[in-house]
Structure 1
Amino acid sequence: MHRSAEIIVTPRLILRSLASADIQVLYDHVLSDAAVMAAALFGGPMSFSQSIRFIDRSFDNGSGKRGLGVLVERDTQQVVGFAGLLQCAALGKPDFELGFVLRRSAWGRGYATEIGRGQLHYGFHVLGLPRILALASPKNNASIAVLKKIGMDFHSNVLDAQRGDRLVYAARRPL
């Protein structure tokens, strides 16, 4: 596996590409945790083999541009979750969706807001995207509050074939 590269740096967090050692940590503290995964992705915890398939399919694998990355605290280098921009066709056009999933010990610390703002800045000012979406489970009140706080507006409801009912939030690149 490649040497991990920093993708987004915020005051307290670094979003970086995946390193081999991250896989077990992500599985133990995020992907296998029923409480964490209840309103994320497919609505439930993943087995280890499902986690590996998800990571292989969704993480940036060193490109450093698009895909998920590992979210770590700058001060401690502790893995606190994952985030990133994934291709998304929820509205029938090629868009990118921002996302973040945090381990329970990172909840309530403002990390979702911080990395959400970082992803918007990166998507608009580094990648030059015209619009960024976010899809949230209607049950995920914490994520919905974060999306509103970072300036995303409710767009519509969609039924995603794999993820079920989702609320779509959107932000446009500032002029």
Structure 2
Amino acid sequence: MDIISTDRLILRTVLDTDIDVLHDLIFSNPEVMSQAFSGNTLTTEETKHFVDANFDHNGNGRQLGILALKSDNTVIGFSGLLACSTLGQKDFEIGFVLGKEHWGKGYASEIGHAQIEYGLRSLGCQRLLALVAPKNKASSSVLNKIGMQLHSTCEIKDRGTKDIYVIEANS
């Protein structure tokens, strides 16, 4: 089931067949994992547990989904909105993680804009957050480009130091 659609991308619910693709594309790649997570790669079983716990299986639009090219349904990564209380309120965090071969093609900006539109308009969020490692300059640049502003930096258990970007519904 499609959750968000853009000119080139589809954010859809996860299928069982996506787990191995995500593992090969993202979760077993140290370079991708160092930009998105702690840097530690995951086993196939750990990937399955992560997907089971965090991905949208029924189309509610409030979890992660599979990010695929609209033209041929090639999986390029994952993206979505997750409940987030980092700033002490019930917010949603947007995010995107792409396989390395899909970096630098404008996909992050495209899905980032669509997530903001979806979160603020369709879900009625008053603000959205994005958390990024300070060393991840490419993602920080994307967040600025899509209208988010650096709010603060904090330490998050199991995720390390993160810059927190914010966009408000009235901005």
Is the TM-score greater than 0.5? yes
User: For residue 170 of structure 2, what is the aligned residue in structure 1?
Assistant: 174
User: For residue 55 of structure 1, what is the aligned residue in structure 2?
Assistant: 51
**Which of 88, 96, 103 matches 2:99?**
103
What percent of counterpart residues are identical? 44
**How far, CA to CA, are the matches of 2:129 and 2:155 in structure 1?**
15
Q: Structure 1 runs of 4+ off > 4 angstroms?
A: none
Structure 1 runs not aligned, ≥5 long:
none
Amino acid at match of 2:150: F
TM-score (norm: length of structure 2)? 0.97
**How far, CA to CA, are the matches of 1:22 and 1:125 in structure 2?**
29
Q: Cα deviation per residue 1:123-160 (whole Å; 9 max; x = unaligned)?
A: 01110100000000011000000000000000001100
How far residue 15 of structure 1 moved from its aligned partner, in angstroms, is 0.2
User: For residue 157 of structure 1, what is the aligned residue in structure 2?
Assistant: 153
**How far, CA to CA, are the matches of 1:93 and 1:155 in structure 2?**
14
**How far, CA to CA, are the matches of 2:38 and 2:47 in structure 1?**
12
How far residue 44 of structure 1 moved from its aligned partner, in angstroms, is 2.4
**Which of 71, 74, 89 matches 2:70?**
74
**How far, CA to CA, are the matches of 1:37 and 1:68 in structure 2?**
16
TM-score (norm: length of structure 1)? 0.95
How far residue 64 of structure 1 moved from its aligned partner, in angstroms, is 2.9
Q: Tell me the matched-pair count.
A: 171
User: For residue 87 of structure 2, what is the aligned residue in structure 1?
Assistant: 91
How far residue 46 of structure 1 moved from its aligned partner, in angstroms, is 1.2
**How far, CA to CA, are the matches of 1:117 and 1:80 in structure 2?**
17
Structure 2 runs not aligned, ≥5 long:
none
